[in-house]
Amino acid sequence: MPDPTELVADWREAPDVRAVQHRTRRVLVSAQVLGSVGMGASASVGILLAEQVTQSETWAGVARTSTTLGAALVSLPLALLAARAGRRTALSAGWSVALLGAVLLVLAAATSSTVLLVLGMLAFGAGSATGLQSRFAATDLEVPAHRARTLSIVVWAMTIGSVLGPNLGAPGELVESWFGLPELSGAFVISAAGLTATVIILLVFLRPDPVAVAAAKAGPDAVPAPKARGSLVLGLRAIVATAPARFAFVALVLAHTSMVLLMTMTPVHMHHHGGTVEIIGLVISGHVLGMFAFSPLVGALADRIGRIATILIGQAVLLAAAVAAIGWSGGTGGVTVALFLLGLGWSFVTIPAATVVSDAVAPAVRNVVQGTSDTAMNVVAAVAAGVSGPLLAVVGFANLAWGVVALVIPVAVLALPLRRGVDRAA
């Protein structure tokens, strides 16, 4: 009987490969839901914990800075590990580091230790990097024309957890009362439970590994395991070599930076205006709803009208978010609208941009480029998170939004020379 792979033009369209792809996507979706529940607490409870432990509103941004920096530190190593040992090993390792971070944050709340807080948030950031890498794992076996849509489904899976996660403050208080835990630690106990379940799902069910299947079908030379040394430089060179990859890379990095810059200080801004933990959690939930809930529509749109066109729509939405924050940041309603649009703009940019960055380079360097783009995205965002606290203290929340406006401009300029159609799926 002939190999089904020989009956189709593209090995990814073979029935056995499609079956593995569908299974992989289901497992990734399940893991993303639970993992995002675990990570969601950092967006609201984490920033308040940082303010409580450090006793400084200026340094409250250390929580988000450490989380984003942690994501930056592990993004490329996780991508290299995926190329060498498979997605199952890399993803389970990343979520395990995040689990360690949740435990350290419980200890930080109990001891009021800034050192444990920073270490915990650094480790917790590995979850963010792992969640981002999961979207690429979903496309390892996908046909090029449907990669944006498939990537978006895994991003969408984070909706449930990411909306529930920022609201762990209230159930966390129950956990604290049950077990006699310190204030703001209960949310991270729940996080640890969700992250534990995530690791178990990946270790047990992500079989066969999509990287192994791709190597077997396309040949090991098509997806070689890159060397760690010089990988960041190699990834940047591959990105710079093509105009679509350069444009998508800049759009990806700046959209994430815009989101982090404004969102980081939202809990602190609202807390100073009388917002409770519950209200802050709802606003952050609205933000992450914008980030993830419409992902399948964004992915389908990107595959239909073009990925660069979709990125430009995202720039317009980011501008709308900045306008709302500048004009109506004094009330909860205005902040809610601004944060929702900020998340939606992020979605419209990052889904197609991640697809373009991945598709525009050769398969031999694809894992390196994926890790490089995520590393750059998180490094720049970490800087933005670090300066957001001092900026809030000096210029106020509304003026932070002008930073979003400034970050949209380079993307618009880079889009001008690109011809229509270069962003279509290969």
How high is the mean pLDDT in each 10-residue block of the chain (426 residues)?
A: 45 91 95 86 73 72 75 91 92 97 92 90 92 90 87 85 68 86 86 94 96 80 56 87 92 93 80 71 83 90 91 96 86 86 96 91 85 90 79 78 92 79 44
Q: How far apart (Å, rounded) are the C-alpha atoms in residues 308 and 280?
A: 34
> Residue type at 61?
G
Residue at 215 is within a domain? no
Q: What angle do CA 419, 377, 395 make, to 5 degrees?
A: 105
Residue at 148 is within a domain? yes
Q: How far apart (Å, rounded) are the C-alpha atoms in residues 138 and 147?
A: 8
Q: How far apart (Å, rounded) are the C-alpha atoms in residues 23 and 46?
A: 34
Residue at 424 is within a domain? no
Q: Are 122 and 73 in contact (CB under 8 A)?
A: yes
Among 151, 139, 375, smallest CA distance to 249 is for 375
Q: Are 342 and 403 in contact (CB under 8 A)?
A: no
The tokens describing 170, both together, are: 């209230």
In this structure, what DSSP letter does residue 353 have?
A: H
Among 133, 375, 85, smallest CA distance to 233 is for 375
Among 70, 63, 62, 90, smallest CA distance to 78 is for 90
In this structure, what DSSP letter does residue 56 have?
A: -
> CA 261: distance to chain centroid?
15
pTM equals 0.80
Residue at 333 is within a domain? yes
Residue at 82 is within a domain? yes
What pLDDT does 394 receive? 77
In this structure, what DSSP letter does residue 9 have?
A: S
Among 387, 169, 395, 385, smallest CA distance to 271 is for 169
Q: How far apart (Å, rounded) are the C-alpha atoms in residues 426 and 49?
A: 46
Q: How far apart (Å, rounded) are the C-alpha atoms in residues 418 and 127?
A: 35
Task: Give the CATH number of the domain where residue 18 resides.
Answer: 1.20.1250.20
* Segments in 180-276 forming alpha helices (H): 186-205, 210-218, 231-240, 243-264, 266-272
The tokens describing 92, both together, are: 């389970």
* Segments in 86-157 forming alpha helices (H): 87-111, 114-137, 147-156
The tokens describing 104, both together, are: 């350290």
Structural domain including 367 reads 4-209+225-415
Domains in the chain, number: 1
What pLDDT does 233 receive? 84
Residue at 240 is within a domain? yes
The tokens describing 225, both together, are: 């395991």
Residue at 218 is within a domain? no
Q: Which residue has the tokens 């710079």?
A: 240
What pLDDT does 273 receive? 66
The tokens describing 175, both together, are: 């956990």
Among 110, 26, 129, 17, smallest CA distance to 71 is for 129
Q: What angle do CA 53, 54, 56 make, to 5 degrees?
A: 130
Q: How far apart (Å, rounded) are the C-alpha atoms in residues 367 and 225?
A: 9
Residue at 251 is within a domain? yes
